């Protein structure tokens, strides 16, 4: 079986379990177990099959079993566990990624146990502490650090690839979560390894342990990582989490804690912001970078920092006085300001900048993608120790995630000249704490910063690394779908805040769900109906939008609502209804030229050309004219046979910004006037502006056929002119 087929089968069986079609589940599992890959599952499968058989028989006989609900819940969970183990066995020799490569390695070749690895790590950490206190030579410290990092890497591999290890090694895992004993770096990596393992293989114990670690850890880094992992896993395995009484009770226990609710809500906002990361990277790569290259063309082929020499970097830092004017004209300042605002808000604006700096051998170890930043790392220890100011700067730079700080440290330490310049530019008397702010922990600032940057580290691991991990960010981590977390989001202010945030980010599909919930609680709020209607309008559900706008209009007569009702009716093809609502809107705002124009447009669509012209003339006169009003005036004049007037307006358009349709319509005028040569010239220009697409011309003539006939052009003349024009080169 190929991987895609195996995963498809797993999805089907899980869906059947979720929808409680258990006879079908037993049939599917029986077929798959017949392959013989998992004989140890046969007894458990048969036991569950027998249990369900008795359960259904008793029910048919009318036996009232008080234990039925509990037995049924246990049966469901047992079936999930059989599916987890069966498909893990089926995938083991089919999938090639970090996790399954490690699973195969340990299965075939063995390796040290988690207990052996922990003991060796503890010994090395003690050794490093003693060496540091003894102030030994730097080489000995670096060598000890390398040993510690290697044991951390091995520990990460064991935990992440040993599914549900916590059920077997509960004590040792919880010991590793003790920051005082193992230090923040090791414990943080254990949390990440536990998260990664449980992404692949559901473990109720692992999720509970992560929630408990958030509640009890003394390290803010560990707390936020544990919460982040627990939330991601709660979403990925939401069907089973929603059915877990233990997890629901644990979350309910925390839901009265203001800090827990605040941290969950903040991380949810970060998951929403992560959906913008690729869009922001696109802006930087395709809008900002090209403008920077225009300012300094010599950098065009040297965008990657790895490819830049010291001279190139010096060139970048050598500002040209003429740049300021060019920057203003290019709109670059506005784009950079927008990115800066996004960064202040918490969006990941550095992804594209640092994605090219992940090629260092440092990132060949998976732990280095998730390692909390510290200068006590074997790769940068020596360089950072020599430049204490630079080390402090990197340590305090809480606008960069850890993997980006390591990227920058590796880059700067390898470019001697630029390092010296950077250090020189930091004044001797600068207070780094003052520079980055000592008040970061006010209103949860530190916890927010840590969780934001950790999510960015995760994003880089899953999208940039070579480990072929399932990209959890391909889907929106939508925590509102986790019923167990609903107590955290149940307050009206929180729901409104989330709805508004999705709306601001233009994620209308998600935003509408919040406004739907809010409306069930407050059915007399016209603004909620407006916003729900707007979401549906932007999703092109015009009938749905009309319904919501109609409800808002019934509560409160409002210009904006009427305008949008008209827009939706027009988009849905009901021009008469659109016209009716535009006229209602105009009664409220009689000076609105936009509505005046739209009324003219609807009248034109309904072929009431004389009436339409009155509105277009008014808009044209007050607004002092533009092609926007000249086009409908010209077309209405043409249809009404006012050819000279139509020609005058098309001439005005040609002096500004003519389009293909303008030349086409001028061709119609000349054809009606029997100025055939000029008609052909205009038709030819029309085709040229459509990149020579003659089918466009044929379709346009067919569309305007009745109008030309009405204006006196014979059928034969139309046929001949079409033949002439389509043969023109």
Q: Is residue 105 part of a domain?
A: no
Percent of the chain with pLDDT strictly greater than 90? 71
Q: Is residue 460 part of a domain?
A: no
Q: Three-state SS string across 10-45, please? A: HHHHHHHHHCCCHHHHHHHHHHHHCCCCCHHHHHHH
Instruction: Kindly state whether residues 218 and 136 are assigned to the same domain.
Output: yes
Give pLDDT, residue 347.
Answer: 75
Q: How far apart are CA 576 and CA 566, in angstroms?
A: 9
State in Å, rounded, how far the first CA of the chain is from the last one: 58
Give pLDDT, residue 180.
Answer: 94
Are the CB atoms for 159 and 168 separated by under 8 Å?
A: no
Q: Is residue 101 part of a domain?
A: no
Out of 32, 61, 95, a domain closes at: 95
Q: How many residues does the chain have?
A: 729
Task: Report the 10 Å Cβ neighbour count for 455.
Answer: 25
* 494 burial type by CB count under 10 A (0-12 exposed, 13-18 middle, 19+ buried): middle
Calculate the average pLDDT of the chain: 87
Q: Is residue 474 part of a domain?
A: no
Instruction: Kindly state whether residues 635 and 524 are assigned to the same domain.
Output: yes
Out of 95, 122, 154, a domain closes at: 95
Provide the CATH number for the domain around residue 645: 1.25.40.10
Instruction: Kindly state whether residues 84 and 120 are assigned to the same domain.
Output: no
User: What letters, b where the CB count within 10 A reaches 16 and e where it falls short, cover 457-475?
Assistant: bbbbbbbbbeeebeebbee
Give pLDDT, residue 284.
Answer: 60
Mean pLDDT value of segment 331-354: 66
pLDDT tens, residue by residue, 212-257 = 999 999 999 999 999 999 999 999 999 999 999 999 999 999 988 9
Residue 336 has pLDDT above 80, yes or no: no
Mean pLDDT value of segment 344-365: 83
pLDDT tens, residue by residue, 483-508 = 999 999 988 999 999 999 999 999 99
Q: Is residue 690 part of a domain?
A: yes
Instruction: Kindly state whether residues 119 and 62 are assigned to the same domain.
Output: no
How many domains are contained in the chain? 3
Are the CB atoms for 687 and 698 separated by under 8 Å?
A: no
Instruction: Kindly state whether residues 75 and 157 are assigned to the same domain.
Output: no
Instruction: Kindly state whether residues 252 and 124 are assigned to the same domain.
Output: yes
Q: How far apart are CA 102 and CA 150, in angstroms?
A: 15
Give pLDDT, residue 329.
Answer: 52
Residue 564 has pLDDT above 90, yes or no: yes
Give pLDDT, residue 456.
Answer: 94
Instruction: Kindly state whether residues 612 and 720 are assigned to the same domain.
Output: yes
Are the CB atoms for 391 and 385 separated by under 8 Å?
A: yes
Are the CB atoms for 465 and 235 separated by under 8 Å?
A: no
Instruction: Kindly state whether residues 83 and 117 are assigned to the same domain.
Output: no
Q: How far apart are CA 630 and CA 654, in angstroms?
A: 11
Instruction: Kindly state whether residues 722 and 586 are assigned to the same domain.
Output: yes
Are the CB atoms for 494 and 514 separated by under 8 Å?
A: no
- For residue 507, the enclosing domain spans 492-727
Instruction: Kindly state whether residues 574 and 666 are assigned to the same domain.
Output: yes
By three-state DSSP, how is residue 323 classified?
helix
Instruction: Kindly state whether residues 531 and 602 are assigned to the same domain.
Output: yes
By three-state DSSP, how is residue 539 classified?
coil
Q: How far apart are CA 606 and CA 587, in angstroms?
A: 21
Two tokens at 203?
Answer: 């473990």
Backbone region of residue 657 per phi and psi (left: phi > 0; alpha: psi in -120 to 50; beta: other values): beta
Q: Is residue 282 part of a domain?
A: no
Residue 326 has pLDDT above 80, yes or no: no
Instruction: Kindly state whether residues 45 and 184 are assigned to the same domain.
Output: no
Q: Is residue 366 part of a domain?
A: no
Q: Is residue 254 part of a domain?
A: yes
Out of 68, 95, 122, a domain closes at: 95
Longest dimension (CA), the chain: 105
């Amino acid at each position: 079986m190929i991987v895609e087929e195996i995963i498809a089968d797993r999805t089907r069986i899980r869906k059947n379990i979720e929808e409680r079609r258990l006879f079908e589940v037993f049939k599917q599992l029986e077929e798959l177990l017949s392959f013989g890959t998992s004989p140890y599952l046969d007894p458990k499968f048969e036991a569950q099959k027998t249990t369900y058989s008795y359960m259904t028989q008793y029910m048919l006989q009318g036996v009232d079993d008080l234990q039925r609900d509990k037995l049924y819940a246990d049966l469901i969970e047992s079936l999930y566990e059989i599916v987890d183990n069966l498909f893990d066995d089926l995938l083991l020799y089919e999938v090639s990624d970090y996790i399954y490569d490690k699973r195969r390695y340990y299965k075939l070749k063995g390796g040290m146990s988690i207990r052996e690895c922990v003991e060796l790590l503890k010994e090395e950490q003690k050794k490093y502490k003693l060496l540091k206190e003894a102030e030994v030579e730097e080489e000995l410290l670096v060598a000890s650090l390398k040993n510690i990092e290697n044991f951390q890497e091995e520990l990460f591999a064991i935990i992440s690839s040993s599914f549900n290890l916590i059920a077997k090694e509960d004590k040792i895992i919880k010991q590793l979560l003790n920051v005082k004993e193992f230090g923040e770096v090791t414990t943080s990596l254990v949390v990440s390894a536990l998260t990664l393992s449980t992404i692949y293989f559901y473990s109720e114990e692992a999720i509970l342990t992560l929630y408990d670690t958030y509640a009890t850890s003394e390290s803010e880094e560990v707390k936020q990582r544990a919460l982040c992992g627990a939330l991601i896993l709660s979403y990925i395995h939401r069907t089973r989490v929603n059915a877990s009484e233990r997890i629901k009770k644990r979350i309910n226990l925390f839901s009265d804690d203001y800090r827990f609710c605040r941290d969950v809500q903040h991380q949810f906002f970060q998951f929403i912001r992560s959906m913008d990361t690729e869009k922001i990277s696109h802006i930087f790569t395709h809008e900002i970078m090209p403008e920077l290259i225009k300012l300094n063309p010599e950098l065009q082929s040297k965008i990657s920092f790895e490819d830049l020499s010291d001279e190139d970097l010096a060139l970048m830092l050598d500002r040209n006085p003429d740049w300021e004017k060019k920057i203003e004209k290019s709109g670059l300042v506005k784009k950079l300001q927008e990115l800066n605002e996004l960064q202040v808000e918490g969006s990941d604006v550095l992804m594209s900048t640092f994605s090219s700096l992940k090629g260092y051998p440092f990132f060949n170890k998976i732990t280095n993608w998730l390692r909390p930043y510290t200068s006590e790392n074997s790769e940068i220890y020596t360089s950072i120790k020599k430049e204490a100011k630079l080390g402090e700067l990197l340590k305090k730079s809480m606008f960069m995630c850890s993997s980006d700080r390591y990227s920058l440290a590796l880059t700067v330490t390898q470019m001697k000249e630029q390092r010296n310049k950077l250090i020189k530019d930091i004044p001797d008397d600068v207070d780094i704490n003052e520079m980055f702010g000592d008040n970061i922990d006010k209103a949860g600032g530190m916890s927010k910063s840590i969780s934001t940057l950790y999510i960015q580290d995760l994003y880089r691991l899953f999208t940039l690394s070579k480990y072929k991990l399932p990209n959890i960010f391909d889907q929106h981590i939508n925590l509102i779908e986790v019923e167990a977390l609903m107590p955290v989001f149940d307050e009206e202010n929180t729901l409104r805040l989330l709805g508004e945030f999705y709306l601001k980010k233009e994620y209308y599909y998600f935003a509408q769900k919040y406004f739907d919930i809010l409306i069930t609680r407050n059915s007399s709020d016209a603004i909620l109906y407006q916003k729900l209607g707007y979401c549906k309008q932007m999703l092109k559900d015009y009938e749905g939008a009309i319904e919501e706008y109609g409800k808002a209009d019934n509560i409160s007569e409002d210009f904006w609502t009427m305008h949008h009702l008209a827009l939706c009716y027009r988009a849905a093809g009901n021009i008469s209804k659109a016209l009716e609502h535009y006229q209602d809107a105009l009664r409220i705002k009689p000076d609105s030229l936009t509505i005046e124009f739209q009324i003219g447009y609807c009248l034109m669509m309904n072929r009431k050309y004389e009436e339409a012209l009155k509105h277009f003339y008014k808009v044209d006169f007050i607004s002092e004219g533009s092609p926007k009003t000249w086009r409908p005036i010209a077309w209405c004049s043409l249809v009404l046979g006012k050819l000279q007037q139509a020609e005058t307006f098309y001439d005005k358009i040609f002096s500004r910004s003519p389009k293909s349709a303008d030349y086409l319509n001028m061709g119609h005028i000349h054809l009606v006037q029997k100025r055939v040569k000029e008609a052909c010239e205009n038709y030819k220009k029309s085709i040229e502006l459509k990149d020579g697409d003659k089918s466009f011309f044929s379709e346009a003539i067919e569309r305007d056929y009745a109008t030309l006939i009405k204006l006196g052009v014979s059928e034969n003349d139309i046929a001949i002119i079409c033949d002439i024009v389509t043969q023109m080169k």
